[in-house]
């Protein structure tokens, strides 16, 4: 029986069940989305087949650039309704089309479903070309606040000029009149829940240390609040070590001694940047999966975008999307399938025969295989014993 919640959430989420089948929303995505989603689907189905024998009924919901013409928006209501109903979704990357009123389609989905926690594991797999080997870091990124809240004032607009005047009066400091302004809200409520999420995740996954990343020495009322709140919450998790590191120092430390870090809990913007840095440590964007979690639903996706120039070429690395499937299987309670699939990914990368161009020593290596062939090798490995 497929169950939910192992490892990540608090037990509130219950999927629509049908004995041995669970319904999952699948947003194939655009650009390279369809290719990596098909790869993920093949491997997830193989892993279930090789273990519990349970099945997933995919509720396929196209979204993004390709549905705008017909439906007038990249995120039709039917997509959000499907995720709300099924409570678990996995999505390929979506291009944010220019001029649709969205800063990012992906951020809009996270905000619409209040998916406040973005979990981004970065793990070294043997065979990947990287200068550092001992990396197993999970970035827990706050997903709804900070400079990503989308409250911005454009340079030269009357409301911006008014705001600048008002701020000068209130703060006693002047802002150049030709400035644009972005607002950075960080709340106690938003911080408490992300810090708790990080500690709960640490506890359930055998992690010993949580590090809060901030710039509290400069931004005292936003990052300062984040740090103070983190310190308070940490007191109720005494069996897990807590420390904090300033974000610039964190970047240096991650390059020099990544082995010192386990879980990094970050406000939204630093989380985005730090997780890409961590992706770089473990072989690039083709390697890093993620999960977005709210109180009621979870959406899994690769960290990378839709890389439009590679669309339809059967070229890009499907690993990030397949590992997002690994995370989803764990969330569904399919622990064995999750482990088996991750081991198969690790083995195929370690052997280095069926891997995409980005994992090769020479990126133009003629021996690189395509997206589909790498996924097929992983699925074959899953089914091999």
Q: Which of 44, 139, 285, 299 binds ligand NAD (CB under 6 A)?
A: 285
**Interface segment toward ligand NAD; rule CB under 6 A; list 14-22, 154-162, 262-270, 303-311:** 303-311
Neighbours of 77 (CB within 10 A): 10
66 touching ligand NAD, by CB under 6 A: no
Residue number with CB closer to ligand NAD (5 or 306): 306
Write down the least CB distance from residue 4 to ligand NAD, Å: 23
Q: What is the dihedral of CA 13, 14, 16, 21, to 10 degrees?
A: 110
Distance CA 278, CA 162 (A): 41
Q: Is residue 272 annotated as a catalytic residue, yes or no?
A: yes
145 touching ligand NAD, by CB under 6 A: no
Q: Which of 23, 215, 304, 331 binds ligand NAD (CB under 6 A)?
A: 304
316 touching ligand NAD, by CB under 6 A: yes
Alpha carbon of residue 350 to chain centroid: 24
191 touching ligand NAD, by CB under 6 A: no
Distance CA 358, CA 14 (A): 38
Q: Which of 49, 73, 100, 104 binds ligand NAD (CB under 6 A)?
A: 104
**Interface segment toward ligand NAD; rule CB under 6 A; list 122-130, 137-145, 238-246, 304-312:** 304-312
Q: Is residue 380 annotated as a catalytic residue, yes or no?
A: no
268 touching ligand NAD, by CB under 6 A: no
Q: Which two tokens stand for residue 182?
A: 């972005």
100 touching ligand NAD, by CB under 6 A: no
306 touching ligand NAD, by CB under 6 A: yes
Q: In 3-state terms, what secondary structure has residue 364?
A: coil
325 touching ligand NAD, by CB under 6 A: no
* Region 331-360 residues binding ligand NAD, contact defined as CB under 6 A: 358
301 touching ligand NAD, by CB under 6 A: yes
- Single out the catalytic residue among 23, 91, 123, 215: 215
Distance CA 335, CA 331 (A): 8
Rounded alpha-carbon distances, angstroms, from residue 342 to 91, 132, 237, 307, 385: 19, 20, 29, 24, 15
Q: Which of 175, 305, 372, 373 binds ligand NAD (CB under 6 A)?
A: 305
User: Using alpha carbons only, how large is the chain's radius of gyration in Å?
Assistant: 21
Residue number with CB closer to ligand NAD (141 or 207): 141
Distance CA 332, CA 7 (A): 10
272 touching ligand NAD, by CB under 6 A: no
- Single out the catalytic residue among 148, 201, 261, 270: 148
Q: Is residue 215 annotated as a catalytic residue, yes or no?
A: yes
Rounded alpha-carbon distances, angstroms, from residue 98 to 65, 80, 95, 103, 105: 10, 21, 9, 8, 11
Q: Nearest-5° angle of CA 333, CA 22, CA 95?
A: 95
25 touching ligand NAD, by CB under 6 A: no
For 82-114, give one letter per residue: b (16+ CB within 10 A) or e: bbeebbbbbbbbbbbeeeeebeebbbbbbbebe
Q: Which two tokens stand for residue 94?
A: 């979506």
Q: Which of 27, 79, 307, 368 binds ligand NAD (CB under 6 A)?
A: 307
Q: Which of 286, 291, 294, 370 binds ligand NAD (CB under 6 A)?
A: 286
The partner residues of 57 in beta bridges, in order of sequence, read 23
How is 29-66 classified by DSSP, letter by letter?
-STTHHHHHHHHHHHHHHHHHHTT--EEEEEE---SHH
74 touching ligand NAD, by CB under 6 A: no
Give the residue closest to ligand NAD by C-beta. Answer: 305
**Interface segment toward ligand NAD; rule CB under 6 A; list 172-180, 233-241, 302-310, 346-354:** 302-310
**Contacts to ligand NAD by CB under 6 A:** 93-96, 104, 106, 285-286, 301, 304-307, 316-317, 320, 358
- Which residues are annotated as catalytic? 148, 215, 248, 272
């Amino acid at each position: 029986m497929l169950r939910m919640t192992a490892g990540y959430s608090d037990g509130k989420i219950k999927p629509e069940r049908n004995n041995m089948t669970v319904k999952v929303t699948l947003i194939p995505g655009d650009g390279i989305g369809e290719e990596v989603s098909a790869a993920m689907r093949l491997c997830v189905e193989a892993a279930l087949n090789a273990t519990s024998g349970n099945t997933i009924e995919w509720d396929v919901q196209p979204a993004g650039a390709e549905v705008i013409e017909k439906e007038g928006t990249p995120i039709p209501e039917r997509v959000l309704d499907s995720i709300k109903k099924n409570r678990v979704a996995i999505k390929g990357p979506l291009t944010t089309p220019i001029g649709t009123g969205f800063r990012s389609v992906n951020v809009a989905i996270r905000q619409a479903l209040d998916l406040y926690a973005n979990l981004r594991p970065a793990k070294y797999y043997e065979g990947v070309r990287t200068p550092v080997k001992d990396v197993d870091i999970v970035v827990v990124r706050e997903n709804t606040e900070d400079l990503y809240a989308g409250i911005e004032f454009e340079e030269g607009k009357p409301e911006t000029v008014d705001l600048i005047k008002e701020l000068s009066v209130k703060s006693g400091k002047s802002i150049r009149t030709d400035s644009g302004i972005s607002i950075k809200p960080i709340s106690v409520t938003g911080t408490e829940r992300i810090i708790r999420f990080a500690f709960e995740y640490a506890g359930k996954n055998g992690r010993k240390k949580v590090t809060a990343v901030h710039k509290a020495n400069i931004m005292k009322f936003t990052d300062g609040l984040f740090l103070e709140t983190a310190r308070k919450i940490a007191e109720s998790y005494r069996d897990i070590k807590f420390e904090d590191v300033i974000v610039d120092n964190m970047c240096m430390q991650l390059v020099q001694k990544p082995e010192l870090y386990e879980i990094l809990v970050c406000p939204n913007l630093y989380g985005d940047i730090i997780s890409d840095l961590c992706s770089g440590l473990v072989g690039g964007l083709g390697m890093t999966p993620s999960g977005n979690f709210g109180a009621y639903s979870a959406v899994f996706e690769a960290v990378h975008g839709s890389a439009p120039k590679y669309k339809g070429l059967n070229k890009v690395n499907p690993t990030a999307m397949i590992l997002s499937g690994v995370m989803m299987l764990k969330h569904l309670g399919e622990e064995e399938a999750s482990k088996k699939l991750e081991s198969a990914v690790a083995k195929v990368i370690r052997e280095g025969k069926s891997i995409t161009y980005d994992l090769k020593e020479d990126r133009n290596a003629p021996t690189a295989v395509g997206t589909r062939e790498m996924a097929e090798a992983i699925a074959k490995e899953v089914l091999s014993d």
